[in-house]
Amino acid sequence: MNDAALLSVEDVAVDLPTPRGNLRAVDRVDLALGAGRTLGIVGESGCGKTMLSRAILQLLPKKARLTGRVMFDGRDLARCSAEGLRKLRARSLAVVFQDPMTSLNPVLTIGTQLTETLLEHLELDASAARKRAVELLAAVGIPEPEQRLTQYPHQFSGGMRQRVAIAIALSCEPKLLIADEPTTALDVTIQAQILDLLAREQRRRHMAMILITHDLGVVAGRTDEVAVMYAGRIVERAPTPVLFKKMHMPYTEALLAAIPKLEAAPHTPLPAISGRPPDPTRPLAGCAFSPRCRYASDRCHSEKPQLAQAEARDHRYACFHPIKLAAGVDA
Amino acid sequence: MMQEVMRAASDPLLKVENLVVEYVVGQRVVHAVSDVSLQIARGETLGLVGESGCGKSTLGRAVLRLRPVVSGRVIFDGEDLTAMQGEALRKMRRRAQLIFQDPIASLNPRRRIGDIVAEPLVIAGYDDAGRRQQLVYEVLSAVGLDPALVVDRLPHEFSGGQCQRICIARALVLNPEFIICDEPVSALDVSIRAQILNLLEEMKIRFGLTLLFIAHDLAVVKAVSDRVAVMYLGRLCEVGPSEQLFTKPAHPYTELLIEAIPVPDPDVRPAESVAVGEPPSPIAPPSGCRFRTRCPRADQRCRDEVPELRPVAPGQYAACHHPLT
């Protein structure tokens, strides 16, 4: 682990009791993120990416059990008091969720919701908070911010609501922003705008960011590093350019191949990943991806591959049969 | 001019002529679909793309008379749907089906899968329960589910992708000719999305279907469509063969939509702010060209004059005063 890491997730596991038995949502994950760096976490629904972000934020469901350590800015979050966590989440650890309609309070004006955090945590007075709120709305690209402050969430479009949610998240100058599928509910054109906005504010504030998505296309040009999750584990992790050029994990390859390509002729069959992820209450003995993997051998069905070091620095993968892309790639 | 667009597809199964759909909200009128004409040939897939609120879903529903039409005509297999009433309309609707975006919400959570898929048969008057079961089993196998394992279970026992398979089975059980797919994969993961798109393509061939495929994701639309129509704020901007529309878009809005697609390649730096602003309200759409408020090429003429769909290349039509090609 990097000493200078702002966030370090050490051997974190999240278990949820369910009527069908224990569900291991996150399975022994290690991660580190330096200040001002961006990390993409990619995987399908149910792969544990949201649970991992909740573990970092200490916002897990009550019945969930967390093991391992989450170190943020020199503190072990699992040992923080409720009050300490509240302060931390307000000041230095912010989050933007997928659905801006449900993450904003429908009966409070945008102004009230924005100034609430400013008054409480930055201890600004009412007029300073209002001024700051206007600046924040302008910074996230909302026209006529003064008038908009008095409006309610339903008077905003989906994209505008997400901008407001981002403004609230940025209001106390956080050190880390977790964006959990921030554009999944939005149109392609609005998605591009929101991703641009996040990237711009991330650079300008030198803030670390975790971008959680199911779409590899979203993380490609916008993150320093990518972690691919499957069935609760990180199965491949690499600096973004390395991941796209020298991926070793068949799951990463399959995820990338399943995206419809604009260059492909119409009616070209898509290389879909057959089947679906395993039932998380019935963990497999071997590699969790083996039933869907075209390279799987007997060993994959019986033994779990651990994260191994690849030839490139900072590139790790969990596979017995890593793919070698294109001839000429050092193997 | 309209005649040329009409001639583009021979033997159309569906013709939409100057369709206008409006909603009244309080004192105000939402111009959801304004003077849209298009046609779909037998066996063709027409993709319909546009941002949320552009009227693409309303257009799809109005085609099946699920929304009242203000003016214009919908001709299905030579018959005017807009003039049809009662039993005749019901009979016609058996030949056309819909698949929706949210597969879980479109299945009744309290009913068993077998009953859900059999429902269209019951409504269509198939009295023989044995025959119904046979048809349900056939169609469930066709969409890749094991009928014996599935029929007695409830929707919540299935994943989103499986629920969409069930919705597709329900749409196919009456052996329709035409299916409107309204954002059928938008709620699904990338990997499951590919499975469902492949399934739709397979079903299209197997059942000899004609499809209207509505989505906001251009790459998805291109993967399945022969021709694509681009809609903006209630009007068509551009229509053309898929390949051509993507390589040589003529309308600035089509270009904007293409540039907004995230490319899964770290060397392709996302173009900053390709998309300017958001669509205006359909309650008070801009005069002239409705896209002009976001268009880099807009001038006075775009403000004064509504652009008509004009041919820009063989089979390709754009409604723009300053087309790119």
- pLDDT (tens digit per residue) in A253-271: 999 999 888 888 999 999 9
Residues in chain A within 8 Å Cβ distance of B274: 189, 192
pLDDT digits (tens, 9 = 90+) for A38-75: 999 999 888 999 899 999 999 999 999 999 999 999 99
Q: Is A311 on the interface with B (CB under 8 A)?
A: no
Superfamily of domain B2-95+177-189+207-318: P-loop containing nucleotide triphosphate hydrolases (3.40.50.300)
Q: Can you give the residue ranges of every domain in chain B?
A: 2-95+177-189+207-318, 106-175
Chain B interface disruption, residue of A18, A187, A240, most B CBs within 10 A: A187
Q: Is A220 on the interface with B (CB under 8 A)?
A: yes
Nearest to B201 by CA among B8, B62, B47: B47
ipTM value: 0.81
Total CB pairs under 8 A between chain A and B: 138
- A220/B278 Cβ within 8 A: no
- In chain A, which among 85-124 make CB contacts under 8 A with chain B? none
Residues in chain A within 8 Å Cβ distance of B267: 241
pLDDT digits (tens, 9 = 90+) for A72-97: 999 999 889 999 998 888 789 999 98
- In chain B, which among 52-81 make CB contacts under 8 A with chain A? 52
- N-terminal to C-terminal alpha carbon distance within chain A: 25
Provide the pLDDT for residue A90: 77
Provide the pLDDT for residue B5: 47
Provide the pLDDT for residue A44: 87
A100 has pLDDT over 80:
no
Residue type, B119: E
C-alpha distances in Å from residue B55, one per residue of B214, B294, B307: 11, 18, 18
pLDDT digits (tens, 9 = 90+) for A258-308: 988 888 899 999 998 888 888 888 989 999 999 999 999 999 999 999 999
Residues in chain A within 8 Å Cβ distance of B52: 158, 187
Q: Is B314 on the interface with A (CB under 8 A)?
A: no
Which residue's entry shows tokens 């299935």?
A: B158
Q: Is A261 on the interface with B (CB under 8 A)?
A: yes
A326 has pLDDT over 50:
no
* Tens place of pLDDT per residue across chain B (325 aa): 444 444 444 679 999 999 999 999 888 999 999 999 999 999 999 999 998 889 999 999 999 999 999 999 999 999 999 999 888 988 888 999 999 888 989 999 999 999 999 999 999 999 999 999 999 999 999 999 999 999 999 999 988 889 999 999 999 999 999 999 999 998 888 888 999 999 999 999 999 999 999 998 888 999 999 999 999 999 999 999 999 999 999 999 999 999 888 888 888 766 655 556 788 888 899 999 999 999 999 999 999 999 999 999 999 999 999 999 8
Query: A321 and A248 in contact (C-beta within 8 Å)?
Result: no
As a whole number of angstroms, the longest Cα–Cα distance in chain B is: 67
Q: What's the rounded Cα separation, in Å, for the pair B51 and B60? A: 15
State the average pLDDT for chain A.
Answer: 90
pLDDT digits (tens, 9 = 90+) for A140-192: 988 889 999 999 999 988 888 999 999 999 998 999 999 999 988 788 888 88
DSSP B48-69: EE--TTSSHHHHHHHHTTSS--
Q: Is A279 on the interface with B (CB under 8 A)?
A: no
Q: What's the rounded Cα separation, in Å, for the pair B277 and B281? A: 12
Nearest to A259 by CA among A216, A227, A230: A216
Say which DSSP state A330 is in. Answer: -
- A187/B52 Cβ within 8 A: yes
Chain A interface disruption, residue of B45, B104, B158, B189, most A CBs within 10 A: B189
Chain A interface disruption, residue of B162, B190, B261, most A CBs within 10 A: B190
- In chain A, which among 32-71 make CB contacts under 8 A with chain B? 44-45
Provide the pLDDT for residue A262: 86
Which residue's entry shows tokens 């050490």?
A: A10
- A256/B261 Cβ within 8 A: no
pLDDT above 70 as % of chain A: 97
Distance from CA of A27 to the nearest CA of B (A): 21
Residues in chain B within 8 Å Cβ distance of A264: 222-223
Count of CA atoms in the C-beta half-sphere (13 A) of A72: 24
